[in-house]
């Protein structure tokens, strides 16, 4: 079943320096339960594509559907959870109240809120930290709390925009592993923007390689790695071959400029 379907999607920003083609003729289908990574240098439109899915940007040409609806309709049915580059937790709310934020807005009852907060904090390994304020947590823990917040209302689609980009590699490895477990446990569809090749290969069932000026898709790689992935899978030849193909795709995209 297709969750996201884009065809000939283009988005041009009008700036003072003339038009910027953030996306050009992007055609892509994402199936239910897939883990799709978008990788490419800055300016390739990977974040813009995610923002179009989320109805945070409007395409200027082409069409896109999310769960068979327009992005706006999908947003209004709260079809997705969005995790930003920064955790963006409210400093005046405790972790559990931060996770409760979308639930409050959606009018979920207090008892149900409590139940869901407990469940998602457990999912991201933050059980027992609910009463802490964000400043009392490390950067990695804050980002996990923001993932919990995106999971709280149980949307089937999770959009993640370089969620671990600001974290150090050790924390990132750990969170990648956690994210795979979470994906296996929840069977959600995940769209994940990154500029790290190992991260993209390790996490994804499908890797979308993009290139800049204009932002477009240069390669779509279906991963042959098994669903069960310990961290040391990154040393296997299969992993390295996929990583190599991604690198080639990125280089090709650059060469055409």
Partner 1 sequence: MTRIWQGNAGPVTVVVAAIILIWYVFVVVLNAPWERDQAARAGTEISFIQLVKNTMAQERPVLPAPHQVVAEMWDTTVNKSITSKRSLVYHGWITLSATLLGFVIGTGLGILLAVGIIHNKAMDKSVMPWVIASQTIPILAIAPMIIVVLNAVGLSGLLPKALISTYLSFFPIVVGMVKGLRSPEAIQMDLMHTYNASAAQTFWKLRWPSAMPFLFTSMKVAVAISLVGAIVGELPTGAVAGLGARLLAGSYYGQTIQIWAALFAAAALAATLVAIVGLGQRIVMQRMGGPA
- Considering the rule CB under 8 A, would residue 133 count as an interface residue with partner 1? yes
Task: Tell me: does residue 104 bind partner 1 (CB under 8 A).
Answer: yes
Residue 110 burial (CB count, 10 A): 10
The strand pair at 18-31 and 189-194 is best described as unpaired
- The reply on whether position 171 binds partner 1 by CB under 8 A is no
* Shorter beta-carbon distance to partner 1: residue 106 or 240: 106
Question: Residue 37 interacts with partner 1 (CB under 8 A)?
Answer: no
Task: Report d(CA 191, CA 96) in Å as an integer.
Answer: 25
Rounded Cα–Cα distance for residues 18 and 255 (Å) = 24
Binding segment (CB under 8 A) for partner 1, from list 10-18, 31-39, 72-80, 207-215: 72-80
> Chain centroid to CA 246: how far?
18
Name the burial class of residue 172, with classes exposed (0-12), middle (13-18) and buried (19+) by CB atoms within 10 angstroms of its CB: buried
Angle value at C-alpha 37, between 34 and 40, nearest 5 degrees: 160
Report in angstroms how near the CB of residue 91 gets to partner 1 at its nearest: 6
Q: Minimal distance in Å, beta carbon 74 to partner 1?
A: 10
Q: How many residues bind partner 1 (CB under 8 A)?
A: 25
Binding residues for partner 1 (CB under 8 A): 54-56, 75-76, 78, 80-82, 84-86, 88, 90-94, 101-102, 104-106, 133, 135
């Amino acid at each position: 079943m297709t969750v996201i379907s884009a065809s000939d999607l283009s988005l041009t920003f009008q700036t003072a320096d003339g038009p910027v083609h953030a996306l050009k003729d992007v055609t892509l289908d994402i199936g239910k339960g897939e883990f799709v990574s978008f990788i490419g240098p800055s300016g390739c439109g990977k974040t813009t594509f995610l923002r179009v899915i989320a109805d945070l940007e409007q395409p200027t040409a082409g069409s896109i559907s999310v769960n068979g609806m327009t992005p706006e309709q999908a947003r209004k049915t709260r079809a997705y959870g969005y995790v930003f580059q920064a955790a963006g937790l409210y400093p005046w709310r405790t972790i559990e109240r931060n996770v409760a934020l979308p639930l409050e807005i959606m009018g979920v009852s207090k008892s149900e809120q409590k139940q869901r907060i407990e469940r998602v904090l457990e999912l991201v390994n933050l059980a027992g930290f609910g009463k802490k304020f964000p400043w009392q947590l490390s950067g990695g823990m804050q980002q996990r709390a923001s993932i919990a917040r995106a999971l709280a209302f149980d949307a089937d689609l999770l959009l993640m925009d370089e969620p671990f980009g600001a974290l150090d590699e050790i924390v990132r490895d750990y969170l990648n592993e956690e994210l795979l477990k979470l994906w296996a446990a929840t069977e959600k569809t995940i769209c994940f923007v990154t500029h790290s090749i190992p991260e993209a290969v390790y996490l994804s069932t499908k890797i979308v390689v993009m290139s800049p000026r204009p932002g477009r898709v240069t390669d779509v790689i279906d991963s042959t790695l098994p669903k069960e992935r310990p961290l040391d899978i990154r040393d296997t030849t299969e992993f390295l071959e996929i990583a190599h193909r991604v690198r080639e795709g990125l280089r090709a995209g650059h060469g055409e400029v």
